[in-house]
A = this chain, B = another copy of it.
Amino acid sequence: MVPTGPIGHREREILTAIVETFISTGEPVGSRALSRSNREGLSPATIRNVMADLSDAGYLDQPHTSAGRVPTTEAYRYYVEQISGEAHLSREDEHMIHDSLTGITDVQEFMERTSRVLSLVSKNVGVTVAVSGPKNDLEHVYFSRLSDQKVLVVVVTRSGLVRDRVLRLDLSQADLDVAARYINENFRGWTMDDMRAELQHRIEQERSEYDRVMQSLEQLYKQGALAAEPGSEAVFVEGASNLVANEQDRQRLQEMLKTLEEKGKIVQLLSAYLDTKQEAVRVVIGLDAALPSMSNFVLIGAPARVGNEVMGSLAVIGPTRIDYQHTMTAVSYIARLFDKILNESE
């Protein structure tokens, strides 16, 4: 099932041409049209022969006998490998991106705007996920008793992410203040993960003794005041309306929209494919493994980082016949800008 690579120079050229014309027209491409646009004036017949080979190798498909050829998933993968070289963004794109993103220092808002910008510049679906990651550094916690049994918890990370939640707990404000002071004095600058681990450790150690602070902390901890619950990721999806233009089948269209509404699935998808440490833009072709409704769709994404800290991911989701070059350039550009803007404001 693994296609034998199209070794020859001519094969590669023709395959690339097919992919490109299919991307721009969206229609199966035939040998005649190809021969016209080909630099070296190859005849349709010759091209047909090559196309037959490429079909055998698993790079091309035919919707039906007498239609042109359509690139397979493999063809796109091959194509993307070829075009790794980055292009430049147009003036307008750069302007639009800068206009939308400058002057924001709030990570959350930045993420939200970024997803919108991604969707605008790619004319597809823009997605960002802000992880209140285990690797974020703690800046502050605040506990505030709102009323009987209701306690407000606000966790602030060094990079400016704010997570708040309300718990049911019966602790006095005084107890809460002490607990907050304890955490802030002991754990400022720690990663959330380390902090949790150490805190649990200390709680267990002191359990036997009667320590009021530790008791408060235990209650808070157990109620998940510091937990990174699954729901705590902020997911921003923008530009779903762009799918309408790209998907003919109503049934599928609805399923895809429904999928995009399920934030959980998006988080899963992004973290499955982009959780890597690497900085580069990642292209995932064929999302059907993770999202059955999204077969023949691709993900073009990159980690969103500030300095060395990973704040989440940003990505574009679009049909396989997306403009790879342009989208990859844009994603990479925005990812760098993300780092730059948020870094300089620190």
A contact set with B: CB distance below 8 Å: 105-106, 108, 139-140, 142, 144, 146-150, 152, 154, 156, 158, 160, 162, 164-168, 238-241, 244-245, 250, 253-255, 257-258, 261, 345-346
A106–B165 contact, CB under 8 A? yes
Given A147-B346, A346-B146, do A164 and B261 touch, yes or no (CB 8 Å)? no
Q: Apart from A105-B167, A139-B152, A244-B257, what 11 extra A-B contacts exist at CB < 8 Å? A: A140-B144, A146-B346, A149-B345, A150-B160, A154-B156, A162-B162, A162-B164, A168-B345, A239-B261, A241-B254, A245-B254
B166–A106 contact, CB under 8 A? yes
Residue of B nearest to A240 (CB): B257
A346 to B166, CA, bound (A): 11
Residue of B nearest to A263 (CB): B112
Number of identical monomers bound together in the oligomeric complex: 2
- Which B residues are in CB contact (< 8 Å) with A154? 142, 154, 156, 162, 164
A165 to B162, CA, bound (A): 9
B152–A146 contact, CB under 8 A? no
- Which B residues are in CB contact (< 8 Å) with A345? 149-150, 168
- Which B residues are in CB contact (< 8 Å) with A106? 164-166
- Which B residues are in CB contact (< 8 Å) with A239? 261
A238–B250 contact, CB under 8 A? no
A345 to B148, CA, bound (A): 8
Given A105-B166, A152-B160, do A254 and B244 touch, yes or no (CB 8 Å)? yes
A158–B146 contact, CB under 8 A? yes
- Which B residues are in CB contact (< 8 Å) with A168? 105, 345
Which one of B149, B150, B160, B255 lies within 8 Å of A166 (CB-CB)?
B160
A156–B162 contact, CB under 8 A? no
Min Cβ gap A142→B in Å is 6
A147 to B137, CA, bound (A): 13
- Which B residues are in CB contact (< 8 Å) with A257? 240-241, 244
Residue of B nearest to A149 (CB): B345
Which one of B108, B140, B146, B148 lies within 8 Å of A139 (CB-CB)?
B146
Given A160-B166, A239-B261, A261-B238, do A150 and B105 touch, yes or no (CB 8 Å)? yes
A156–B140 contact, CB under 8 A? no
Given A105-B168, A162-B154, A346-B146, do A240 and B261 touch, yes or no (CB 8 Å)? yes
